[in-house]
Structure 1
Amino acid sequence: MKLVNILAGSPQLPDLPIDFTNDVNWIGVDRGSLTLLEHGIIPTLAVGDFDSMSEDELRRVKNRVGKIIQVDPVKDDTDTELALSQAFEKYHANFVNLYGISGGRLDHFLSNFLMVLKPRFNQYAQKIKMIDQQNIIRFFKPGHHQIQAVAGYKYLSFITLGAVQELTLPDEKYRLQDQIDPYPTAYVSNEFVQPTANFSFTSGTVAVIYSRDLKKEQ
């Protein structure tokens, strides 16, 4: 499986990977490129308008990264969308892990979360995972799916994105049977009761969110 990791521009600690690994291809988005370099990783590609960097910081990126796509700040696609397009179309990723998607800003988070509904990306929905230090988000197309519990993530939520037909949760802690939602609906704080859980639906897109409460510092 060809995995591509994308680090978007958020420098916030909760948005960053818990462990940076150098054994996969990384794409740095805007300031995410600089963050990767600071963690000892030279991204395969840096992409964005780089308007969040100083001239000196951008020079550092250009001196270290072999391939850079710099675009005009006035554009139709977000920097993250450009990176995701490159991951699938240029690097032929079988799976993409996307980090740094919010930086604490809800508009950035929603832009990244909802881009999976765009037709050009929706075809790849099940190959995209969004990760921060408190959440793992996956996306699913219609059908029957089985997912596995992840150690440390207690909660399991199902978010219907648009009209979803016949959502069935047969073996989670809180069950649903053939639920029809004509509008987006969040079924939150469910839980695994076994190492795996099954669910199914017949139309639309569903986001599945693994989440956990961060320990409070004493």
Structure 2
Amino acid sequence: MDYKRIVIFTGGQLTQEFLQEIQPDDVIIAADRGALYLIEHGIQPHIAVGDFDSITEEEREIVNSNSVEFIACDPIHKDLTDTEMAFETALDHEPTHILIFGATGTRMDHTLANVHIMVRAMQHHISCALQDEHNYMTLTTSSAVVEQRGFTYVSLLPLTHEVTGICLEGFMYPLDHATIRMGQSLGISNKLLDKSGTVTIDSGLLLIIQSKD
């Protein structure tokens, strides 16, 4: 399969720095207000999806007219969040990687649900990341290369009861076949020694969060 990256802009916290992350070959899917944000900054979404209940009728028409494809649903009779709708649309295109902007914000329920979306991507053998102004989040069940990306800290949190066999190379605080269980803070606030480091695990599901204040 050829490399295909899908970038999703959803309705959380967005900044113009994210627009610079878009690559020429990216497929851009925008959810609800994320679509309006892109259009206001001169970028045409390939697909705009959602109930669009966070924008006015006039803004909705702007999104409809300036998107290659427009998919709207009833805001009352729907089971998915706008972000999950965008994610499901992305899955239909069989990407190798999904990068999601605007998936975090003041609604912790939506933020956690969007973190869990990455588990769904992994089940489809698709790498996935969430990025906001202060964080870059990925998952691994085996190994991952962590690149510097301009973030200060690297934290490891288990998304299963425990994660075993954790080994770190290229980090200030190395681990050698360590186990981290839910509720433990052993993996918080590590740092890379150079431009990248490697995380490997034996079992479990590990959330890798690169962050800065």
TM-score (norm 1): 0.84
Q: Does 1:132 align with 2:116?
A: no
Are residues 173 and 124 of structure 1, via their aligned partners in 2, closer, same or farther at CA, if it must alter by over 3 Å? farther
- 1:83 is matched by which residue type in structure 2? A
SS in 1 for 2:105: coil
- 2:160 is matched by which residue type in structure 1? G
- 1:134 is matched by which residue type in structure 2? H
Contact 1:125 1:139 in 2 (8 A): no
What's the CA shift string for 1:185-218, capped at 9, x where partnerless? 45211001133312211222111111122xxxxx
1:108 pairs with one of 107, 110, 113? 110
Shift of 1:125: 6.7
Shift of 1:18: 5.6
Are residues 13 and 121 of structure 1, via their aligned partners in 2, closer, same or farther at CA, if it must alter by over 3 Å? closer
Counterpart for residue 155 of structure 2:
157
Unpaired stretches in structure 2, ≥5 consecutive residues? none
Contact 1:161 1:184 in 2 (8 A): no
Q: Does 1:86 align with 2:86?
A: no
1:28 pairs with one of 22, 27, 30? 30
Contact 1:161 1:185 in 2 (8 A): no
Query: CA–CA distance in 1 between the matches of 2:125 and 2:15?
Result: 24
Counterpart for residue 147 of structure 2:
148
Aligned length in residues: 207
- 2:130 is matched by which residue type in structure 1? M
Are residues 16 and 33 of structure 1, via their aligned partners in 2, closer, same or farther at CA, if it must alter by over 3 Å? farther
- 1:121 is matched by which residue type in structure 2? A
Query: CA–CA distance in 1 between the matches of 2:115 and 2:37?
Result: 22
Counterpart for residue 209 of structure 1:
209
Q: Does 1:76 align with 2:79?
A: yes
> Cα RMSD between the aligned structures?
2.3
Are residues 18 and 45 of structure 1, via their aligned partners in 2, closer, same or farther at CA, if it must alter by over 3 Å? closer
Shift of 1:32: 0.6
Shift of 1:148: 2.6
Counterpart for residue 216 of structure 1:
none
Contact 1:155 1:191 in 2 (8 A): yes
Are residues 8 and 184 of structure 1, via their aligned partners in 2, closer, same or farther at CA, if it must alter by over 3 Å? farther
Unpaired stretches in structure 1, ≥5 consecutive residues? 214-218
What's the CA shift string for 1:73-96, capped at 9, x where partnerless? 23222211111121122x221111
1:97 pairs with one of 94, 99, 106? 99
2:62 pairs with one of 60, 63, 70? 60
SS in 2 for 1:189: coil
SS in 1 for 2:36: helix
Are residues 125 and 157 of structure 1, via their aligned partners in 2, closer, same or farther at CA, if it must alter by over 3 Å? farther
Query: CA–CA distance in 2 between the matches of 1:160 and 1:13?
Result: 27
- 1:133 is matched by which residue type in structure 2? E
What's the CA shift string for 1:94-126, capped at 9, x where partnerless? 111100012332222111112223xx4332476
Are residues 15 and 106 of structure 1, via their aligned partners in 2, closer, same or farther at CA, if it must alter by over 3 Å? farther
Query: CA–CA distance in 1 between the matches of 2:193 and 2:21?
Result: 31
Contact 1:44 1:65 in 2 (8 A): yes
Percent identical among aligned pairs is 30
Larger % of strand: which? 1
